[in-house]
Amino acid sequence: MPSDKQPGLFELYDQDPDKADALVFGRVANPDRRGFLRGAGLTTMSAMVGAAIPFAANMPSGFIPVALANADKIEGKDGLTLLNDRPLNAETPAHLLDDAITPTDRHFIRNNGIPPEDVDADAWTLTIDGLVDNPMTLSIADLKSRFEVVTEALTIECGGNGRSFFDPPAKGNQWTLGAVACSNWTGVRLADVLKAAGVKDNAIYTAHVGADLHLSGKEGKLPISRGMPIEKAMNPHNLIAFEQNGAAIHPMNGAPLRLVVPGWPGSCSQKWLTRIWLRDQVHDGPKMTGTSYRVPNRPVEPGEKVDKKDFDIIHAMPVKSLITSPETGRSASGGKVQVRGHAWAGDDRVARVDLSIDFGATWIQADLDDPVNPYAWQNFRAEATLPQKGYYEIWARATSDKGVAQPHAIAWNPKGYLNNSMHRVAVRYA
């Protein structure tokens, strides 16, 4: 059992309803009542039932709101699949990611801890400190007035996207395909802010701090704090963002301020951002050490035990594509199928996307758009002709401008990261 085992609400209530209440609702004053519905669980609970809970204090101990027990709805999100409720993790089915720019209500959620409550954007500050000449603390208004504000479409993908397909399985959120999105993000360039702070020569790594709480609820204990080498931090497409798709960032996507570090594991993109600390060593915050967001530095056999010292920190994400139409399992009424999707390639560009309807025997090259800006996913489309009635699979394979293509099989690794094997969609020509 990993020490960071994080049971969900259903699991908790099943095992120990009183403890579950204490965790979700804070201290239970009266064993027959929840007392004050407040503290750690309230934001998440309200977000999940889609409204405030005026009579929360009357809810009996060990009682799960019926709306929550059937939770498929998170306020401001549409059609996401819930993988875990504590912490909240939800992904988007592939066919709901069809838009060129992912609407906010379809952007996945990956939380490691408890999001901050009662966020006040006007009072929010970001501190830049550590190995800088001018440590500074800036409000969001300061960021807007002191630095150029830019909007870019940026792809964020969780390092564990695709984990559910690993065999033997890997522990962690069982993401299928939908822990990826490409929204429009508005903010200032991280590089501009770091330059203004004056990065000292001996700074080699960033350390990111957010305002979410560790699941234990312990004050000052961070659920996640990751960083990146200073060379990546200076990439002009990393944003300190305060808007998502032209409006406020969704509370579960990091409002009011977050990092967006496209091309690298989503974990680099700290939400609820309060501090960026520059260090003269590789950052060692939670989820930076051990085997978190690391893969073996050599090919390993499925199921192989790998020594901790043989793991490297994941940098760029691999080349990948997603078929967003047709939806898998659909019937095509005629023999023609319009195929659409997106492709992306970490720090690189996608050079081509090929599709197969005959289990990889032959391939057709899809039309592929340029990215609207670097680090936006690229849209592709093609018409596939199914020769006769029956069952088909549509496969997509992207190739980067470095000539690297998606593999057929998963390169297995113990923690189930970086699954970029080809997406397969089932279609029946009926």
Ligand X SMILES: Nc1nc2c(c(=O)[nH]1)N[C@H]1C(S)=C(S)[C@@H](COP(=O)(O)O)O[C@H]1N2
Residues that bind ligand X (CB under 6 A): 107-113, 156, 158, 210, 212, 223-224, 253-254, 266-267, 269-272
Of the candidates 178, 181, 155, 174, the one whose C-alpha atom is nearest the C-alpha of residue 93 is: 178
From residue 375, give the alpha-carbon distance in Å to each of 95, 181, 258. Answer: 21, 11, 17
- Complex with Mo ion: residue 61 or 176, whichever CB lies closer: 176
Q: What is the nearest approach in angstroms of ligand X to the Cβ of residue 423?
A: 19
**247-248 and 205-210: which strand pairing?**
unpaired
Residue nearest to Mo ion (CB): 158
Strand bridging mode 367-368 / 378-385? antiparallel
Exposure letters 169-184 (e unless 16+ CB within 10 A, then b): ebebbbbbbbbbbbbb
Q: Is 199 in the site for Mo ion (CB under 5 A)?
A: no
Q: If you search the block for the tokens 């990146």, which residue do you land on?
A: 228
Least separation in angstroms between residue 331's CB and ligand X is 32
- The partner in contact with residue 109, picked from Mo ion, ligand X, none with C-beta cut-offs of 5 to 8 angstroms by kind, is ligand X
Measured CA to CA, the distance from residue 91 to residue 86 in angstroms comes to 14
> Longest Cα pair distance anywhere in the chain, in angstroms?
69
Q: How far is the CB of 28 from Mo ion (least distance, A)?
A: 32
156 binds, among Mo ion, ligand X, none (CB under 5 to 8 A by kind): ligand X
Question: What does 272 interact with, of Mo ion, ligand X, none (CB < 5 to 8 A by kind)?
Answer: ligand X
Identified binder of Mo ion from the candidate list 172, 254, 266, 346, rule CB under 5 A: 266
Cβ of residue 353: shortest distance to ligand X, in angstroms? 24
Question: Of 158, 177, 182, 240, which one interacts with Mo ion (CB under 5 A)?
Answer: 158
Smallest separation, CB 399 to Mo ion (Å)? 25
User: Read out DSSP for 187-256?
Assistant: EEEHHHHHHHH-B-TT--EEEEEESPBPTT--TT--S-----BHHHHT-TT-EEEEEETTEEPPGGGTTT
Of the pair 95, 271, the CB lying nearest ligand X is at: 271
Nearer to ligand X by C-beta: 107 or 349? Answer: 107
Q: Which residues bind Mo ion (CB under 5 A)?
A: 110, 158, 266-267
